[in-house]
Amino acid sequence: MSNAVVVVTGAGRGIGECVARSLAKEGAKVVLSGRTVSALEGVRDAIEADGGTALVRPTDVMDPESIAGLFDDTEKAFGKLDVLVNNAGIATQTNMVDMDEAEWDRIFNTNVRGLFLSSREAGRRFRDAGAGRAINIASVFGLVGRPGFSAYCASKGAVINFTRSVAAEWARFGAQMNAVAPGYIATDINAEMRADEAAYKKVLRGIPAYRMGTPEELANVVTYLALNAPDFLTGQTIAVDGGESSV
């Protein structure tokens, strides 16, 4: 599917940046959304320098109006929407008994409600078009429990079961939704942990491959799901985790 129009949330750095660049390399026109405009502009410039097409659209996934505008502007710029990559997400580490409501709400508003709102905007367009794909960036932490991460684990578990339910709805009108569950991928989200040698080694001991993944390894799978996977593949969550969720 060359010339696909793709929205990537959280495209300014990390996994989202890598996914956006990978899709652009395959000929997709990529709408880069996120809150930090300078980061989005940097990704756009890199894509354009590679001969690709990208549009910067500042967006906060916690704000429904901002999300609605993102999809309106995508259609204005490119005339259609083919793929949504729900990547924007945050993580915190706090024991459940010490967590306040604001932290819980911030995680759920970003990782679950924001993903629902984006999916709803995309899904209405996919229903009208009779085609379309969404790929949700979940997490291995949505497949297993981890102490200190109850809110994050619960939010990513919600993403995985949302994916199954929506896939079943969308199959009726020819659209697909799948998820990818990354294990540890070296990005800003875990930079602090990686800087702590003891914590880093402890994490590596839990990964059969004894290393973290790269954003490129994840972007390959997302690009396949977005552009090349068969329509019959839907509702699935693919772990890309060096075996972490298999043991």
Ligand X SMILES: NC(=O)c1ccc[n+]([C@@H]2O[C@H](COP(=O)([O-])OP(=O)(O)OC[C@H]3O[C@@H](n4cnc5c(N)ncnc54)[C@H](OP(=O)(O)O)[C@@H]3O)[C@@H](O)[C@H]2O)c1
**Rounded least distance, CB 30 to ligand X, Å:** 14
Window of 75-83, 86-94, 97-105, 231-239 that interacts with ligand X by CB under 6 A:
86-94
Query: Does residue 178 interact with ligand X by CB under 6 A?
Result: no
Query: Does residue 34 interact with ligand X by CB under 6 A?
Result: yes
Can you tell me whether residue 10 is helix, strand or coil?
A: coil
Window of 8-16, 46-54, 73-81, 123-131 that interacts with ligand X by CB under 6 A:
8-16
The smaller minimum CB distance to ligand X, of residues 11 and 227, is found at 11
Q: Is 152 a catalytic residue?
A: yes
What is the DSSP secondary structure assignment for residue 211, as one 8-state letter?
S
**Which one of 6, 24, 90, 151 is in contact with ligand X (CB under 6 A)?**
90
Show contacts of 77-82: CB within 8 Å, 24+ apart: 77/31, 78/5, 78/29, 78/31, 79/5, 80/5, 80/125, 80/129, 81/5, 81/7, 81/122, 81/125, 81/126, 81/129, 81/132, 82/1, 82/4, 82/5, 82/6, 82/28, 82/131, 82/132, 82/133
Write out the DSSP string of 141-174: GGTS--TT-HHHHHHHHHHHHHHHHHHHHHGGGT
Query: Does residue 19 interact with ligand X by CB under 6 A?
Result: no
Cβ-contact 10, 87 below 8 angstroms: yes
Window of 59-67, 96-104, 198-206, 229-237 that interacts with ligand X by CB under 6 A:
59-67
What is the DSSP secondary structure assignment for residue 226, as one 8-state letter?
I
Query: Does residue 188 interact with ligand X by CB under 6 A?
Result: yes
Query: Does residue 157 interact with ligand X by CB under 6 A?
Result: no
**Which one of 36, 92, 93, 161 is in contact with ligand X (CB under 6 A)?**
36
Query: Does residue 242 interact with ligand X by CB under 6 A?
Result: no
Distance of alpha carbon 221 from alpha carbon 240, whole angstroms: 8
Query: Does residue 144 interact with ligand X by CB under 6 A?
Result: no
Sort residue 198 into left (φ over 0), alpha (ψ -120 to 50) or beta.
alpha
Window of 10-18, 96-104, 120-128, 166-174 that interacts with ligand X by CB under 6 A:
10-18
Instruction: Using the structure block, give the residue that is written with the tokens 């990513």.
Output: 156
**Which one of 1, 62, 99, 203 is in contact with ligand X (CB under 6 A)?**
62
Checking DSSP bridges between strand 132-137 and strand 53-58, what pairing results, if any?
Answer: unpaired
**Which one of 91, 99, 131, 203 is in contact with ligand X (CB under 6 A)?**
91
Cβ-contact 127, 175 below 8 angstroms: yes
Query: Does residue 158 interact with ligand X by CB under 6 A?
Result: no
Query: Does residue 46 interact with ligand X by CB under 6 A?
Result: no
**Single-letter residue type at 209:** A
**Rounded least distance, CB 233 to ligand X, Å:** 21
- By CB under 6 A, name the binding residues for ligand X: 9-10, 12-16, 34-36, 39, 59-62, 87-91, 110, 137, 139, 182, 184-185, 187-190
